Structure 1
């Protein structure tokens, strides 16, 4: 029987969501190529100005999912390694995942900048709270 820390589940869900967004990139690019909107040359050095916004969005969202979320993954492993996985950390972890998935849905959907900003800002507060909780617990823990 395998056992695991419950903090790994929200981490895995966010990783799977990131891979889902990653898979959207080639679909958007091939579709645009088939419609004659882009050529392979438009991606030689990243994305040229000819690349339509609908094709750029999945790539930009994927990059977002590889930036600040790295701090979430590190915090999850740190919570596990220091035996600090509890209801507070788990609740914050699930809130973070929900906010990041929500951010992606808005970004890739109706793309309202204010809605996106709200979700992004709150998610950053949540990941910061996880780190503050861990830092407090590390500083106040008895030395071994």
Structure 2
């Protein structure tokens, strides 16, 4: 039987978003240093308080894309390895990616905290539902 690979596409989409944010950061950092808004030393141990807010926001968003999504990637890999062909985990995986895209767009633009918090919570609850759906199916299979 051919493994069900559809669950890999939401993983690829989230990885792409992560790389996009990662690739923007050096341009912001170099731009800040070149414009005199920050010094190279401000990045020695991450970022100092002297780094402009926009650059710090992208850095924080990048860290967000490496924290909670670890559980997303693990869940998707479990679904892939167990050949879970149920539509629910796939739909939840895409919903999680959608919430993370919206969270990133809100976070690095106007950054309204309540909207950002709601999107983060929605992504976390979607991820929890994904884990429950995957392990519910595994429990049924024995």
TM-score category, normalised to shorter length? over 0.9
Match of 2:67 in 1: 67
TM-score, structure 2 length as denominator? Answer: 0.94
Q: Structure 2: which 5+ residue stretches go unaligned?
A: none
Secondary structure at the aligned position of 2:67 is classed as coil
RMSD: 1.5
Q: Could you list the per-position Cα deviations for residues 67-112 of structure 1 after superposition, in whole angstroms to 9, with x for gaps in the alignment?
A: 0001111111100111213211111111000000100000001100
After TM superposition, the structure 1 stretch with the greater mean CA deviation from structure 2, 37-46 or 56-65, is: 37-46
- Distance of 1:138 and 1:57 partners within structure 2: 39
Shift of residue 4 of structure 1?
A: 6.1
Q: Structure 1: which 5+ residue stretches go unaligned?
A: none
Match of 2:85 in 1: 85
Secondary structure at the aligned position of 1:66 is classed as helix
Q: Does 1:129 align with 2:103?
A: no
Match of 2:25 in 1: 25
- Distance of 1:47 and 1:110 partners within structure 2: 21
Shift of residue 26 of structure 1?
A: 0.5
Q: Could you list the per-position Cα deviations for residues 39-77 of structure 1 after superposition, in whole angstroms to 9, with x for gaps in the alignment?
A: 111111111111111110111000000000011111111
TM-score, structure 1 length as denominator? Answer: 0.93
Match of 1:35 in 2: 35
Shift of residue 124 of structure 1?
A: 0.3
